[in-house]
Amino acid sequence: MPSPGDVDPLRRVVVADVTALFDQAFDPSVTAFAPVAVTGALTTAIYASLRGHGFRVGTYPLASLLNCEVTTLADRQYLVTVTAGPVRYTRLWIVDGATAYAGGPWTRSE
């Protein structure tokens, strides 16, 4: 079953947003991620985008586990959770027709 995040326009903006977040939070030249699961078009696109930005994503020694989940909260509201090693980032997203926008800033917890 596909993830709720697989539906455009949400997928496009979430992929760009997660990539921008990781560009700021991690150094791609020294960071490797081991995907926990590839659950659909969203995770596939995020992993490809991170690779395109220089991150190593795959089976590497000492790689941090990487997981992305999208949870439907209500009609047109989605919670995106990205876990990188011990760090968890979450952000609310709202889809309004053909547009998706963030419902607040990324929150970080460990």
Splitting the chain (110 residues) into consecutive groups of 10 residues, what average pLDDT does each group show? 63 93 95 87 91 94 91 91 96 91 95
Amino acid at the residue 36: V
In-domain check, residue 87: yes
Give residue 39's pLDDT.
77
In-domain check, residue 107: no
In-domain check, residue 94: yes
28: which residues sit within 8 A by CB, 6+ positions away? 22, 50, 53, 54, 55
In-domain check, residue 103: no
* Residue 77 CB neighbours (<10 A): 13
Give residue 110's pLDDT.
92
In-domain check, residue 106: no
Give residue 5's pLDDT.
59
Cβ distance 28 to 60 under 8 Å? no
In-domain check, residue 108: no
Count the domains in the chain: 1
Gap between the Cα atoms of 13 and 9, Å rounded: 7
Q: Which residues pair with 34 in a beta bridge?
A: 65
- Domain containing 21 equals 4-98
